Amino acid sequence: MERKRRVWRWVALGGGVLLLAGGLGLWLWMRRAPVYEVQTQKVTRRDLTEVVVANGRIQPVVQVKISAEVSGEIVELPVKEGQSVRQGDLVARIKPDVYLANRRSAEASYQAACSARDQAEANLRKAEVEFRRQEELYRARLISESAFLEAQTALEVARAQVEHARHQVEVARASLARAEEELAKTTIYAPISGTISRLSVERGERVAGNTMMAGTELMTIADLDNMEARVEVGETDVVLLRPGQRARLEVDAFPDRVFTGYVTEIANSSRNLNQPLGSQEATKFEVRIRVQEKEAFRPGMSVTAEIETRYRTNVLAVPLASVTTRSAEPARGTGATEGRGEDSSGDGPVGVGDPDPGAARRRNRDAGRTQSVVFVVENGRVRMVPVQLGISDADYWEIVEGLTEGQEVVTGGYKAIHRELTDGARVRVVPKGKAPRGGGG
């Protein structure tokens, strides 16, 4: 009996020594574990506005390019670049001599065709009278059948000549109208009221018409009282846009001002629709934003637009810098595998003895996925918390799920959040004015 008690006494003593050694080892390990200096911020409620940022140019809502429709020399150019004009004002004249001659010739041809028509109609009336006389004589058996048929043929010929003459009159009338139209095109008037934003020709210069190709561009008239921003938006952002959405506009020429506008048009097709599939050029869509303020804008000025797409009020939010990504934890297996199956880590192929082949496939599928996380500070350590994100603005992420108001999250430094911190890591919170250092003793 005494021997048994001595054995248990030694067992208890040995266990105590082992427990003491383990505790001492744990304490020494914790003393050697690095402590990371971090900055933090409380989870608070905020109003967030998500924006799409795009660059482009200021352009008039309405601008008209005027091109020559007939060829010739510019003999009159009463406008200059930057000049204001009203609809109907004379802006250019092309030498009309050739077109005047063409009109006179076409008018003479028309008059001749009318005379020929009148003569043919007179001949028809004469042939009709002669045919009726010959018909009466034929019925009275006073002329031969051949004489009657000859009169009938003459009548049909006269009718055909009248139809031909009338057709020629229509042809001549069309030629005269075309000649008059070409003559009228030598005098060019302003189609809209606005400003000559670009003048491309000089007086005395010869220009080409648009008979076979586009005519020479003479000038551009723009309505500078109504301007818009034409910006290019990427394919991932354009799906967030809708007509009527508000926008803030910054024009490089006015660095101290912010203008406002609203989306009016969103292109249905990409501007680089025909680029090859392997092209490195980003796919862009043109979006038009009407500028609400009146200012001395000039076509082509550079502009940056921030288009407001989504709004959230009184939502939980954390700084953008506090959110990072980590590999998602794979689902654990249920039970041991048999035969050719691998263990429940999900790293190997699915074996014939896997009790849940579907779960194994999901483990393999999820192995490379990442999740958004933040690090919550609790009692000198951080806890890695997966979060579901909503919208973001320039500074904050909306937290849909995972955090509660008032929790303290790590916001810096960058290296600690994205590379060093792990679940349970020791941290020391430093003031915002002090740059955090890496892990130390």
Instruction: Decide if pLDDT at 64 tops 70.
Output: yes
Closest CA to 351 of 330, 335, 366: 335
- Please report the pLDDT score of residue 14 as a whole number: 63
Instruction: Decide if pLDDT at 186 tops 90.
Output: yes
pLDDT range class, residue 346, cuts 50, 70, 90: very low
Instruction: Decide if pLDDT at 342 tops 60.
Output: no
CB atoms within 10 A of CB 1: 4
pLDDT range class, residue 412, cuts 50, 70, 90: confident
Closest CA to 411 of 437, 429, 424, 423: 429
User: What spatial distance separates the first Cα and last Cα of the chain, rounded to whole Å?
Assistant: 52
- Please report the pLDDT score of residue 348 as a whole number: 42
Q: What is the mean pLDDT of residues 137-144?
A: 87
- Please report the pLDDT score of residue 201 as a whole number: 93
Sign of the alpha-carbon dihedral angle for 26, 29, 31, 33: negative
**Rounded Cα gap, residues 354 and 336, in angstroms:** 8
Instruction: Decide if pLDDT at 365 tops 60.
Output: no
**Rounded Cα gap, residues 273 and 293, in angstroms:** 33
The residue with tokens 């890591």 is 425
**Rounded Cα gap, residues 11 and 4, in angstroms:** 11
CB atoms within 10 A of CB 186: 23
pLDDT, the chain, mean: 85
pTM above 0.75, yes or no: no
426-429/35-42 β-pairing: parallel
CB atoms within 10 A of CB 31: 8
**Rounded Cα gap, residues 8 and 130, in angstroms:** 156
Instruction: Decide if pLDDT at 178 tops 80.
Output: yes
194-199/259-266 β-pairing: unpaired
Which position has the higher pLDDT, 436 or 198?
198
Q: What is the mean pLDDT of residues 201-223?
A: 89
- Please report the pLDDT score of residue 209 as a whole number: 87
Q: What is the mean pLDDT of residues 32-56?
A: 91
**Rounded Cα gap, residues 350 and 372, in angstroms:** 29
Q: What is the pLDDT of residues 237-251, one digit of tens each?
A: 999 999 999 999 999
pLDDT range class, residue 283, cuts 50, 70, 90: confident
92, 195 Cβ separation under 8 angstroms: no
403, 318 Cβ separation under 8 angstroms: yes
The first and second tokens of residue 5, run together, are: 């008690």
Which position has the higher pLDDT, 264 or 213?
264
pLDDT range class, residue 277, cuts 50, 70, 90: low
Instruction: Decide if pLDDT at 110 tops 70.
Output: yes
- Please report the pLDDT score of residue 439 as a whole number: 59
What percent of the chain clears pLDDT 70, i.e. is strictly above it? Answer: 79
**Rounded Cα gap, residues 264 and 261, in angstroms:** 9
pLDDT range class, residue 11, cuts 50, 70, 90: low
Instruction: Decide if pLDDT at 357 tops 60.
Output: no
- Please report the pLDDT score of residue 211 as a whole number: 72
Q: What is the pLDDT of residues 284-336, one digit of tens each?
A: 999 999 999 988 899 999 999 999 999 999 999 999 999 999 987 654 443 33
Which of 160-166's residues contact partners 24+ apart within 8 Å by CB, and which partners?
161/120, 161/123, 161/124, 162/117, 162/120, 162/121, 162/123, 162/124, 164/120, 165/113, 165/116, 165/117, 165/119, 165/120, 165/121, 166/117
Instruction: Decide if pLDDT at 366 tops 60.
Output: no
With b for 16 or more beta-carbon neighbours within 10 A and e for fewer, the 54-78 pattern comes to bebebbbeebeebbbbbbbebeebe
**Rounded Cα gap, residues 362 and 358, in angstroms:** 6
